[in-house]
A and B are shown apart, each in its own frame.
Chain A
């Protein structure tokens, strides 16, 4: 079992990684972003499942994983209009290149992605 301090560090790492991936999207650095988000989603789920066990508390709140609907969230995260447009552009990019929505890609997982690049 991990300690509260380790849990806090996981949350901080998650928040940092989340901001980093969104920053990459905001600058149109879309390469390999889907797989990065897949890994981050697992990390987020791990944090939430651990939290749900009732053994830990949030000293810092993790950013929500979902950002599709959220102009307000992205504004709060400090992105300007052009950067937000680029982040939403990433969702279009996924749809165009993968033939499915971003969330469906994450759901399909890496096996589906691998079968597409074979």
Chain B
């Protein structure tokens, strides 16, 4: 059926996937930075990231700087939250595994709506997207910029 069917199969399960990912992150003893975060703070941009990945899969488009806004937003927020860079990389790695596991699961349906090449294309897109975020995270954390201050009320 196509890439669109794969994107739908991910998006229709987004709540369950985020729930699985949240639980794996919370249980991972190697991630320390999440301790101080509430569940909404931890989840934050992750659903939007998955949706942006799905939009790219639907269009069969290779992610780049211009099509990974949610990934960049996530790096910004994590940096502001005082999250350690290595913990961010680890949680992205866990998101990758969660999504790849789901792809495997839906491709093993008795009557799959897509062929192995389409699944392979979708996994390439999601891998490249998360690599794009990691690349950005590494360069931001490496250069340690100052995060901008909260604004003063501005006259229009």
Contacts and interface: CB of A to CB of B under 8 A. Distances in A.
B48 interface: yes
B139 interface: yes
B32 interface: no
A19 to B, nearest CB: 5
Contact of A51 (B70, B74, B139, B154): B139
Interface in B125-156: 139-140, 143, 145-148, 150-154, 156
B66 A49 contact: yes
B66 A45 contact: yes
B76 A61 contact: yes
Contact of A20 (B47, B147, B154): B154
B41 interface: yes
A27 B153 CA distance: 11
Interface in A40-95: 45, 48-49, 51-52, 57-73, 76-78
Q: Is the interface on chain A under 10, 10 to 19, 20 to 34, or 35 or more residues?
A: 20 to 34
Contacts of B113: none
B73 A61 contact: no
Contacts of B148: 15, 60-61, 63
A23 interface: yes
Contact of B73 (A23, A29, A65): A65
A69 B70 contact: yes
A69 B156 contact: no
B62 to A, nearest CB: 14
Contact of A23 (B44, B45, B156): B156
A71 B152 CA distance: 18
Nearest to B79: A61
Interface of A: 15, 19-20, 23-24, 27, 29, 45, 48-49, 51-52, 57-73, 76-78
Pick the 5 closest A-B CB pairs, nearest first: A64-B73, A78-B150, A58-B145, A69-B48, A66-B69
Interface of B: 40-41, 44-45, 47-48, 65-66, 69-70, 72-74, 76-77, 79-80, 139-140, 143, 145-148, 150-154, 156
